[in-house]
Structure formats: C-alpha cells, structure tokens
Amino acid sequence: MRVLFFGMLGTLTRLPLAALLAADVELCGLVLPAEIVPPFELVDNGRFSTPITSIRSQPPTLNLLATDQLPSPLAQAAVRDVPAFAVRRLAAPETVATLAALQPDVICVSCFPHRLPPAILNLPRLGCLNVHPSLLPRFRGPVPLFWALRAGVRETGVTIHFMDEQFDTGDVALQRPFLLPNGLTHAELETHLAQMGGALLVEAVQKLAAGTLPRQPQPDGYRSDPWPGDNDFALDLTWSAQHAFNFMRGTANWERPYFVQLQGERIWLETAVAYHPEATQTQPIIRQGQVAHIQFSPGILQATLLGR
C-alpha cells in the first residue's frame, strides 16, 4: 500500500502522519499547501514548488517549517527520503503528473485546507480517505470542534471517510466516539482527536489493503457548518452554565470576545473561570471586580469581564 499524504503543520496533521510512520506504512509522498511554506522556489508560474526533501541540505528552510514545536513527523518523512511538495494549484497538469508518478494506492488526508479536484481524487486506485474530527454527518466543514462545543454535545469523535468532490460528504468507513470532559481546551481536544484519528487511519489503511474496509453512505439532510462570525460567540442564557463554560474553554483559541444579552445590555466576557451546575442567585448578573457571576438555566457561570 503506497500512501500519498495531504496535510498541514498542525496537530491534526502531525499525529495521524506520525501514526502512519510508526505503523511502517509505505509513505510515497507528502503534500502541503504552498501558502504555509512560502520560502520555496516556485517553478512554472508558481504552480508547483521544489520538493521539501531539499531541506536536508538547506537547514534554514527547515526552521521556517517549525515553530516552538518542531513538526517531527514531517522531519521523519524527509529523513526517510519521502518526496514532499508544497503545492499551489492542485488541478494544474504539472501537479497531477508529478503526483501520479508517485503511483499511490490511496491518498490519506488530515487537515488539508483545499478541496481535491477530480484529477487528484481519481489518482489512487483505492480512493482517498480523510480524517474528520466529528461523528459525520454532524459538524461537516472546516471547524467541527467549534460547532460541536457551541451545540453543547457531550460526545463527539473522529470519522474516516472516503472523499468525493464535496467537503465531508463521502461514504463513512470508520468512526470512533469521544466523550467530552468538562473544561477541555481546544489544544487538549484537538490532541485527543488527532491521536484517535491517527489510530483509526492506520486501521482504515490496513483494512483497505485487506479488502475489508466498510463504507456507508451518509444520510441526506445535513449541511456544512460555516466559518464562525462574531455573533456565534454569543452565550445563550437558556444554556446550562456547564455548556457555556465548556464552550468558552474550548474555543478560547479563537481569541474572540464572548457576550451575553442581559436586560437590554450586552455584557462582554473574556475567560471562563468556573461554573456551578445547580446554583442560583437573586440577580441575573452579579459583578465582583472583574469577575461576573451570570445565571444560566441551570447553574451559574463565573467569567472575567472584558475591558473595553
């Protein structure tokens, strides 16, 4: 099984890629979007960049791929002489020809930001598999963790699905649920799901090779969730305080202000501090310095007020 892997530099790429490498899957190529690795020399009007494998003779370029956490699976791939490409135009004939020459049996995708065109989807003989951090068909789209937390679900999970020309609509192959603990940060949730996604992706590739990977069409009636807007950070007082607390904790990485509407006033909040699931108070909001105690249904949320 020759696997061509598409991804980014974040956790939802690094951990599934690391799982494939640890399982000794034959990785025949790695594809990243060119916008995240801008220093590479581009050829043919910027359609395709030089292979990232050249980083072994150009150490400063590797530094540009790293932040405080070196994306070690990418480095491991380079050490193994896996050709890695930063791509600008997926549908360009040069791109398709270059990737076709790798002769992939399957394409595996985890957190790649662009839609794969038909020419790429049709390259591997066994199809394309995507790691999606939700239990499809719920929470399709680019930010499923945000919408799961906003919906207040107690369980989310990971889906491995076959890819088609739309985002997150292809047949489901494997799923694994994850019960959401209270107060989980986005980084913690992403890490849990990325680890699960890596294990599930390895299982999917192995079953695909054996001809035993199931596939189940997704039901109709579900839509893709959009990118969040300002109003999507509003807290609904009909939520439980637990729901509000978990939403604020899990989406704090967006660094956006939250607000509640109380008695004609918009109250701006910054950080969730604590919640008391069954507590009540005589007023909808009680301010104590920079901390607000807000009555929800049920429970009380404690959150810091945003200085505006």
Q: CA-based angle 259:264:270, to the nearest 5?
A: 15
Report phi then psi at 154, rounded to 5. Answer: -90, -10
| Res 37: pLDDT | 65
Tell me: pLDDT of 179 over 70.
yes
CATH top class, domain 230-305: alpha beta
Tell me: pLDDT of 305 over 50.
yes
Q: Is the dihedral of CA 98, 99, 101, 102 positive or negative?
A: positive
CATH top class, domain 2-210: alpha beta
Domain boundaries, the chain: 2-210, 230-305
d(CA 50, CA 66): 18
Tell me: pLDDT of 78 over 90.
no
Alpha helices, DSSP H only, in the chain?
Answer: 11-22, 59-65, 72-79, 93-100, 118-121, 144-151, 186-210, 241-251
Which tokens sit at 271? 């950080």
Tell me: pLDDT of 56 over 50.
no
The DSSP annotation for 22-33 comes to: HTT-EEEEEEEE
- Give residue 169's pLDDT band: very low, low, confident or very high (50, 70, 90): very high
- Give residue 196's pLDDT band: very low, low, confident or very high (50, 70, 90): very high
Quick: pLDDT tens for 256-273: 999 999 988 999 999 999
Interstrand relation of 106-110 and 128-132 (parallel, antiparallel or unpaired): parallel
230-305 and 2-210 share a CATH fold: no
Tell me: pLDDT of 55 over 90.
no
Tell me: pLDDT of 60 over 80.
no
Which tokens sit at 34? 């060119």
Tell me: pLDDT of 194 over 70.
yes
Helix axes 11-22 and 72-79, enclosed angle (nearest 10) = 40
Spatial contact of 75 and 69, defined as CB atoms under 8 Å apart: no
Tell me: pLDDT of 93 over 60.
yes
| Res 25: pLDDT | 92
CA distances from 65 to 39, 42, 129 (A): 10, 16, 25
Give residue 10's identity as a one-letter amino acid code. Answer: G
| Res 69: pLDDT | 30
Quick: pLDDT tens for 206-255: 999 999 999 999 999 999 999 999 999 999 999 999 999 999 999 999 99
Minimum mean pLDDT among 20-34, 67-81, 100-114, 259-273: which range? 67-81
d(CA 270, CA 272): 7
- Give residue 75's pLDDT band: very low, low, confident or very high (50, 70, 90): low
